[in-house]
Amino acid sequence: MKLLAKRALVLLVLVALLTIGLVCFVVRYFNQASTWVQYPANKHLFNNQAKLTVSGTIYDRSGQVLLEMVDGVTKYHRDKTVRTAMLHATGDTDNNIAVGAQVAFREHIIGWNLLNGVYRLQNQPNRSANLTLTLDANLCAAAYKALNGRKGAVGVYNYQTGEILCMVSAPSFDPEQPPNISHYPEKYEGVYINRLLSAVYPPGSIFKIVTAAAALENLPEDKLYHCEGKMQIGSDTVTCTGIHGDIALEQALAHSCNAAFAQIALELGDAVLQKYANLAGFNSYLVVDGIKTAVGRVDVRNAAAVDLAWAGIGQYTNTANPLNFMAFMGAIANQGVLISPRLIADNYGFFASSQKKQVLSAETAVKLGALMRNNTLSVYGEYNFKGLELCAKSGTAEVGEGKRPHAWFTGFLAREDYPLAFVVLIENGGIGSQTAASVARRVLQTAVSTGK
């Protein structure tokens, strides 16, 4: 039977084909099963309205329940203000908020894993499906209240550990009583967008920190700039808020002198300014436990002189993502080392832990911090931020079209016990050092009084 035994080897070709097919499937399975299982037709996890019927409990950092599933019904925090303030963190029941935990961390909260699938003992959600966020419910509520109905975003995070303590985006609504959004298009404009993570705004004067960082490393420190209230560049004019005369970097930053920063930008040149913008996190996104932030853009390569000057002031085509800029503040506070922000506290090795990245030299970071400290001492007023050791910069970003400018206030606390960086943005909020600073004051004072 040697002859036929040899010919029978043709069967092995078929065996190989079936085996290859199986291996393909298994590889796909290992890579994609977590996606397949989340398809809303999966009756193990969703009801006929495609709403999740299974979820682990989501806690804030102090153990308050932000979201739990009781008999297939989603329950949020008991307090309405907290529910509303944390809407963008937990997500809404209809899953319109793409970066909310119910969507972004769905794989985790449904308790699926490769070994057990969706199997649940006694139909109870797996304990491993529970999720503790780094957020502080009370701090978020305080921030939401401080915004007082204005649209904007507030972020606070620990620049040593990366934990985000406060993430608030307004407008918002109570997820247990979702309003009819289409009836109030103005009030709920972009309500499903988490403005801290997923939006970009013109940075205005807060960008001067980036320009200042470049100046510290590339220009003589005792160099004086000259301000006559405006500056002529070719046929264009860069206007300033006042007439500052001969002014050094420290005072230029404190008084947010446009003329001085226009001169700095021109002296640095496009390549250097571009380099420092990139270091500060522009033109790239951060990944917060798998969620990519929006990308703020700065592109001054080959820009005309006047454009470069405006860019140095933060008013060219620049855009900034609030969280990304807050992380840059954290890097300044943390000797130039940026600890990427994160939202999930219990790490189980399930999510990648915080990334570290040196974005400025320690020396520059310390000098920059001192400049920002001086801002508070000489302009914003220490009495407003008593005990906070506040280092900050305000911004008032013109948006044109007769609208009020966006108000920014960002910086950090130079305190060992409260290593916090923050950002406040109020859409059409007016003068940053007034409106945004006052929101920041209330949020930061809550942060240091209620614990870390």
Partner 1 sequence: MVDFLDKVKQLLLQDLSSFFQWLGKLKSVFAHLAAVGDYYSLLVRWLLPVLAVIIFLWCILPLLRDRKNQTTWGYLYLMNGIRVPIQSWECMLGRGKNSDIMINQPFISRNHAVLTYHNGVWSIADLGSKGGITVNGARVEEQHRLAYGDVISLAGIEMALLPADIVPAEEGQEEQVSDNSGVVNSTGTFTLLLIFIFQLLGALQIIITRSAAVFPMLPVTVFALMLAQGLHYHVLRWLQFENLELVLLSYFLCGLNVFIVASAAPHSLYKQLVAILLGMAVFTIFSLLIRKIGRAMKLKYFLLAGALVLLVLNLTLGEIHFGAKNWINLGFITFQPMELVKVAFVLAGTATLDRLLTTRNMAAFIGFTGACMLTLVLIRDFGSAVVFFGAFVVMAFMQSGDLRSLALVLAGALFGGFAVVAFVPYVTKRFAVWGKVWQYAGTTGYQQTRTMIAAASGGLLGVGGGSGYLVNVAAADTDLVFGVLCEEWGLLIALLAVLVIVFFAVYTVIIIKSSLSSFYAIAACGAATIFLLQTALNVLGSVDILPLTGVTIPFVSNGGTSMLTSWALLAFIYSVK
Q: Are 206 and 123 in contact (CB under 8 A)?
A: no
Please pick, from the candidates 31, 70, 121, 381, the single residue that binds partner 1 as defined by CB under 8 A: 121
Choose the contact partner of 70 out of Zn ion, partner 1, none; CB within 5 to 8 A by kind. none
Q: How many angstroms separate the CA atoms of 208 and 311, rounded?
A: 9
Binding segment toward partner 1, per CB under 8 A, in 83-91, 106-114, 254-262, 387-395: 106-114
Q: Residue 39 Cβ, how far from partner 1 at the closest point, in Å?
A: 5
Q: Residue 99 Cβ, how far from Zn ion at the closest point, in Å?
A: 40
According to the binding rule CB under 5 A, does residue 244 interact with Zn ion? yes
According to the binding rule CB under 5 A, does residue 259 interact with Zn ion? yes
Please pick, from the candidates 31, 48, 49, 122, the single residue that binds partner 1 as defined by CB under 8 A: 122
For 136: left if phi > 0, alpha if psi spans -120 to 50, otherwise beta; the answer is beta
Q: Residue 245 Cβ, how far from Zn ion at the closest point, in Å?
A: 8
Q: Residue 251 Cβ, how far from Zn ion at the closest point, in Å?
A: 9
- List 153's β-bridge partners, or say none: 169, 425
Nearest to 265 by CA among 254, 275, 251, 255: 275
According to the binding rule CB under 5 A, does residue 309 interact with Zn ion? no
CB burial of 225-259 (b: ≥16 within 10 Å; e: otherwise) equals: bebeeebebeeeebebeeebeebebbbbbbbbbbb
Q: Count CA atoms within 13 Å of residue 215 on its CB side.
A: 29
According to the binding rule CB under 8 A, does residue 70 interact with partner 1? no
According to the binding rule CB under 8 A, does residue 9 interact with partner 1? yes
For 156: left if phi > 0, alpha if psi spans -120 to 50, otherwise beta; the answer is beta
Q: Are 97 and 103 in contact (CB under 8 A)?
A: yes
Binding segment toward partner 1, per CB under 8 A, in 43-51, 127-135, 175-183, 423-431: 43-51
Please pick, from the candidates 66, 156, 231, 240, the single residue that binds Zn ion as defined by CB under 5 A: 240
User: Which residue, 113 or 205, has its beta carbon nearer to Zn ion?
Assistant: 205
User: Which residue, 119 or 184, has its beta carbon nearer to partner 1?
Assistant: 119
Q: How many angstroms separate the CA atoms of 336 and 213, rounded?
A: 11
User: Which residue, 64 or 241, has its beta carbon nearer to Zn ion?
Assistant: 241
User: Which residue, 89 or 206, has its beta carbon nearer to Zn ion?
Assistant: 206
Choose the contact partner of 227 out of Zn ion, partner 1, none; CB within 5 to 8 A by kind. Zn ion
Binding segment toward partner 1, per CB under 8 A, in 2-10, 216-224, 261-269, 306-314: 2-10
User: Which residue, 166 or 249, has its beta carbon nearer to Zn ion?
Assistant: 249
User: Which residue, 1 or 70, has its beta carbon nearer to partner 1?
Assistant: 1
According to the binding rule CB under 8 A, does residue 412 interact with partner 1? no
Q: How many angstroms separate the CA atoms of 195 and 161, rounded?
A: 23
According to the binding rule CB under 8 A, does residue 112 interact with partner 1? yes
Q: Count CA atoms within 13 Å of residue 146 on its CB side.
A: 29
According to the binding rule CB under 8 A, does residue 4 interact with partner 1? yes
Q: How many angstroms separate the CA atoms of 127 and 41, rounded?
A: 24
Please pick, from the candidates 37, 287, 295, 448, the single residue that binds partner 1 as defined by CB under 8 A: 37
According to the binding rule CB under 5 A, does residue 257 interact with Zn ion? yes
Choose the contact partner of 118 out of Zn ion, partner 1, none; CB within 5 to 8 A by kind. partner 1
Backbone angles phi, psi at 342, to 5 degrees: -145, 160
Backbone angles phi, psi at 393, to 5 degrees: -145, 135
Please pick, from the candidates 51, 65, 100, 115, the single residue that binds partner 1 as defined by CB under 8 A: 115
Please pick, from the candidates 15, 50, 248, 352, the single residue that binds partner 1 as defined by CB under 8 A: 15
According to the binding rule CB under 8 A, does residue 50 interact with partner 1? no
Q: Residue 91 Cβ, how far from partner 1 at the closest point, in Å?
A: 22
Q: Residue 46 Cβ, how far from Zn ion at the closest point, in Å?
A: 59
Binding segment toward Zn ion, per CB under 5 A, in 218-226, 253-261, 360-368, 400-408: 253-261
According to the binding rule CB under 8 A, does residue 370 interact with partner 1? no
| Total residues binding Zn ion (CB under 5 A) | 5
For partner 1, the binding residues (CB under 8 A) are: 1-12, 14-15, 17-19, 21-22, 24-26, 28-29, 32-34, 36-37, 39, 41-45, 112-119, 121-122
